[in-house]
A = this chain, B = another copy of it.
Amino acid sequence: MNIFCSVSLNEIQKDFFKKKIDDNFFFLEDSREKSFENFMNCEICFGNPEVDWVKKSKNLKWIQLESVGFEKYTKIKIPGLKISNLRGFFSIPVAETALAGILSLKRGIYRLSSLKDKKKWLGSRIRPTLNLLNGSNVLILGAGSIGSKIKTLLEKFNCKILMYDKFKNDADLININDLDIHLPDVDILIGCLPENDETRQLLDNYRINLLKKSSIIVNVGRGSLIDEKTLIKNIKSEKLAGAFLDVTDKEPISDDSPLWSIPNIILSQHSGGGYESEVNDKILFFKENLSRYKNKILPKNIVL
């Protein structure tokens, strides 16, 4: 069984892969042509291969993505090709990053960092500029594994939490109009929705303007959720208190983007799902799913 590994691995990770996976496999080569040739001979791909390659593939039967997102593969129609994702895999790291971002905004960590760079002591003058997370009204957009994990963590901070999810019957809000009713009361608005026609620009100019000036926006889902221009304008004009963005409309953020220079915006550069053994854990997940595939059991997390 030929496996193509399109995950970019360093030497230590390659060794780990070799130890865990017994089958015949191909890593990415320096030569794109050579990689493509190998890819064409494979039945299985681990990682997120180029869409064009997938379209050309003749032998491919299963792709185990190394992400939760699978938007770019939705338009590929190859009979018999199965695609699984990493749903749930990132919920702990992303939820921790969301909490880190929220608490950093509330407790001034980001500003303290600038003070340290300047060796500037403000001491007790910092205190009245800080806020508490405790007791905040939180609205979480998306009741998947990440949203649910964030909810669990925030509950201990005595937050009053509402979950919005059109596709989850047990969410507190399932109707978009209900969302608009609650936005004026929200202290912290958290986005963890996948990207699709209904979530793109869901936080548009109208909805962002429903928020009060003390509220903050957190986005750990997809950058397309937010009308970034309004977000930037409102934070600059103090109609919003700040934002923590793990994801942005364009990644990398262009050099001339105003996002870089607004003090109350924290940018985590889409690192939210990362942690030291992330790649090894992905390999272990793939190994487990591969064993199901070989035993003719449907791999976990099939999305297409």
Contact = CB atoms under 8 A, between A and B. Distances in A.
B109 A266 contact: yes
A131 B271 contact: no
B96 A107 contact: yes
Interface string A104-134: 1011111011111101011110111111111
A122 B152 contact: no
Interface in A34-87: none
A232 interface: no
A126 B92 CA distance: 17
A271 B123 contact: yes
Given A106-B100, A276-B131, A126 B271 contact: yes
Contacts of A266: 109, 112-113, 116
A279 B128 contact: yes
Please state the number of chain copies in the assembly: 2
Instruction: Bin chain A's interface residue count.
Output: 35 or more
Contacts of A93: 107, 130, 132
A268 B267 CA distance: 20
A122 B269 contact: yes
Nearest to A126: B271
Contacts of A112: 266-269, 271
A133 to B, nearest CB: 6
Interface of A: 92-93, 96-97, 99-101, 103-104, 106-110, 112-117, 119, 121-124, 126-134, 152-153, 155-157, 251-253, 255, 260-261, 266-271, 273-276, 278-279
Given A100-B109, A112-B268, A132-B275, 19 more contacts: A93-B130, A96-B106, A96-B133, A96-B134, A96-B157, A97-B107, A100-B106, A103-B103, A112-B266, A113-B114, A113-B266, A119-B255, A119-B261, A123-B269, A127-B274, A128-B276, A128-B279, A129-B276, A155-B156
11 contacts: A96-B107, A96-B132, A107-B268, A109-B266, A110-B113, A112-B271, A116-B267, A121-B269, A122-B269, A126-B269, A127-B278
